Amino acid sequence: MKNSEEEAAFIKNVLSIIKNLDIFDLSDTDKLEDMVNTLTTNTECAWSKNSKLVNITRHSKSWWTKECNQSPWSYRILRSLEDWKIFKKMVKNTKRFFFDLKIQEITNKR
């Protein structure tokens, strides 16, 4: 949506991506192509991150948080196994916290 927080975040992300591009050694076409591919991939990730509309329905995961949405992006950009492990651990801890609260809520009602 125009002039939204998501648009501002997307623009900020793209500016950061462009600022961090390595443009000092573009002496051959392979290096130029790698730089353009990096720009394309990172811009697509920024777009996906900031453009998706989330519709919460009765089938949605009630424990899912904003952190769960944001966490996998570093993995998607870098494809690092360590980032994937961090994401999975964060999801596990979020679920555990949510369901521990639910269990405590149920036991307190009885």
How does pLDDT run across 80-101, given as a tens digit for each residue? 888 888 888 888 988 899 888 8
Q: Which two tokens stand for residue 95?
A: 């679920």
Q: Can you tell me the distance from the alpha carbon of 19 to that of 7, in angstroms, rounded to the nearest whole number? A: 18
**Final residue before a domain boundary, out of 26, 53, 80:** 53
Q: Do residue 34 and residue 16 come from a single domain?
A: yes
Task: Express as a percent the part of the chain with pLDDT over 90.
Answer: 1
Q: Residues for the chain: how many in total? A: 110
Q: How many domains does the chain have?
A: 2
Q: Produce one character per residue of 39-58: b if its CB has 16 or more CB atoms within 10 Å, e if not.
A: eeebeebbeebbeeeeeeee
pLDDT reported for residue 52 = 58
Provide the residue range defining the domain that includes 30.
1-53
Q: Do residue 47 and residue 89 come from a single domain?
A: no
Q: Do residue 12 and residue 42 come from a single domain?
A: yes
Q: Which of 74, 15, 7, 87 is closest to 47 using CA atoms?
A: 7
Q: Do residue 46 and residue 25 come from a single domain?
A: yes
pLDDT reported for residue 55 = 62
CA triplet 30, 34, 35: central angle to 5 degrees?
120
